[in-house]
Amino acid sequence: MKQTGLPTFFAGVMTPDGYLSHLGELYDPQAGWVAYLIKGGAGMGKSTLMKRVLAAAAAAGEEAWRVPCPSDPDSLDGVVLPGRRVCLLDATAPHVVDPRCPVACEVLVDAGAACDPVLARQNREAILAVDRRLKGEYRRAERYLAALTALRRDSFRVAMDACDRERALRFAAGLADRLLPRKGGRGKETVGFLSALTPKGHLLWADTLRAWCDRVWAVEDEQGAVSRTVMATLRLAALEAGYDVFVGMCPLDPREKIEHVLIPELRLGFVTRSRALDLPSTERVIHARRFQDVAALHAKRQRLAFNRRAAGELMEGACQTLARAKSIHDELEALYAPAMDYAVLDAAADRILAELDLSARIV
């Protein structure tokens, strides 16, 4: 997957319980943000509009974050311009974002206005049939993810039983004292995912580390028991010390397990590294076995090895299913395309670029 050099992360992931999104948390109306909420169906030009704004902002030297779609990593779910406190979001299902302070804080952009309803209805039955097939593939992917998550949680419990959690907590607290000088106040967090299962396999946005961090500490941890404890402690310490942080959640345990904590102001990052998270070389590596009963883990090595092999096959199956879903989604886009007047979306992009004073950089 081609990297962009811009900070890039997913704002949502598919889970065994359906899609989980943090997209609407990327902006805060109370802090003066403005969000362009783009509404519209498949193939209606939402991602293309955002790519134009992203390219213009990058050409102008603006700080910009790129938020790709996990169901199609070549498309965008969002663009964030943190220096301006502006974002553009694909606010349609499965990551619906509704206005909290309409007009004053959110601008609705109706991509559906570019679609001729008479022409679209000519393909109504075909669109409904394709949509049913698409939903079926997503349900199948959820079943793969449920089985995969069960195996990984089993390995996690084995590792937790062998983990000296108090020692890991003391280590993390000491690391925070050394590396996180207190500023005062409390920082804010952005929650997302540096990796996800996608139609292109397991993707990891490693360039985001280079964009935000010069110093990176890695916890080498296959089962995630030690890293989960260390990252949770470092996240809280960084926020309490007054730093804004990016919190990278585990896409297979997205509500509980923190994999990465990045602190751009300090150019400092703490990451989890494993077979699945093949991150670049780091300043310091912390081996999980320092905090584990290695003999106890060795006694469960066959169980852990089985879980790892089976999880790998399930991960491959999930990605293949997502690839089929992507192919079906392409069919859906093709059915809408004849009804679209993309000049309407070009005009919407021009208006947004003018409002952001990026018109000179229109691409």
- Whether residue 11 is predicted with pLDDT greater than 60 in this model: the reply is yes
- C-alpha distance from residue 101 to each of 58, 105, 107, 205 (Å): 28, 5, 10, 33
Residue with tokens 């050394």: 178
- Whether residue 360 is predicted with pLDDT greater than 60 in this model: the reply is no
Scanning the chain, the segments in alpha helix (DSSP H) are 46-59, 117-121, 124-161, 165-179, 207-212, 225-240, 294-299, 301-336, 342-355
Q: pLDDT-derived band of residue 3, with 50, 70 and 90 as boundaries? A: very low
In this structure, the strands spanning 189-192 and 245-250 are parallel
- Whether residue 131 is predicted with pLDDT greater than 80 in this model: the reply is yes
Q: For residue 271, what are the β-bridge partners?
A: 218, 260
Beta carbons of 13 and 251 less than 8 angstroms apart:
yes
- Whether residue 278 is predicted with pLDDT greater than 90 in this model: the reply is no
- Whether residue 363 is predicted with pLDDT greater than 50 in this model: the reply is no
- Whether residue 273 is predicted with pLDDT greater than 70 in this model: the reply is yes
Q: Residues 310-326: pLDDT tens digits?
A: 999 999 999 999 999 99
Q: pLDDT-derived band of residue 184, with 50, 70 and 90 as boundaries? A: confident
Q: pLDDT-derived band of residue 335, with 50, 70 and 90 as boundaries? A: very high
pLDDT at 200: 95
Of 18, 14, 21, 31, the C-alpha closest to 97 is 21
pTM for the predicted model, two decimal places: 0.93
Per the prediction, the chain carries an average pLDDT of 93
- Whether residue 130 is predicted with pLDDT greater than 60 in this model: the reply is yes
Average pLDDT over residues 40-49: 92
Beta carbons of 219 and 211 less than 8 angstroms apart:
no
Of 336, 349, 350, the C-alpha closest to 121 is 336
pLDDT at 4: 54
Average pLDDT over residues 23-39: 95
pLDDT at 2: 47
Q: What distance in Å separates the CA atoms of residue 108 and residue 128, rounded to the nearest whole number?
A: 26
pLDDT at 64: 96
- Lowest-pLDDT choice from 9-18, 50-59, 194-203, 275-284: 275-284
Beta carbons of 110 and 40 less than 8 angstroms apart:
yes
Average pLDDT over residues 252-265: 94
- C-alpha distance from residue 27 to each of 49, 68, 84, 147 (Å): 19, 16, 11, 34
Of 258, 289, 112, the C-alpha closest to 189 is 258
What does the DSSP 8-state code read for residue 71?
A: T
Q: What distance in Å separates the CA atoms of residue 286 and residue 34, rounded to the nearest whole number?
A: 41
Could you tell me what percent of the chain has a pLDDT over 70? 97
3-state per-residue secondary structure call for 255-319: EEEEEEEEEHHHCEEEEEECCCCCCCCCCEEEEHHHHECHHHHHHCHHHHHHHHHHHHHHHHHHH
Q: For residue 220, what are the β-bridge partners?
A: 273, 287
- Phi, psi dihedral angles at 146 (to 5 degrees): -65, -45
pLDDT at 33: 96
Give residue limits of the domains in the chain. 12-115+341-361, 163-292
- Phi, psi dihedral angles at 210 (to 5 degrees): -65, -35
pLDDT at 274: 86
Which structure tokens are listed for 121?
Answer: 């209805």
Q: Which residues contact 234 (CB under 8 A, 6 or more apart)?
A: 172, 175, 176, 180, 261, 270
Average pLDDT over residues 226-251: 97
pLDDT at 279: 76
Question: Quick check: helix, strand or coil at residue 141?
Answer: helix
Q: pLDDT-derived band of residue 17, with 50, 70 and 90 as boundaries? A: confident
Average pLDDT over residues 7-22: 93
Residue with tokens 């805060």: 28
- Phi, psi dihedral angles at 304 (to 5 degrees): -65, -40
Query: What is the b/e burial string over 69-102, where b = at least 16 CB atoms within 10 angstroms of the residue's CB?
Result: bbbbbebbbbbbbbebebbbbbbbeebebeeeee
pLDDT at 281: 67
Q: What angle in degrees, to the nearest 10, is found between the helix axes of 225-240 and 165-179?
A: 40
Phi/psi region, residue 241 (left: phi>0; alpha: psi -120 to 50; beta: rest), is alpha
pLDDT at 362: 47
- Whether residue 61 is predicted with pLDDT greater than 80 in this model: the reply is yes
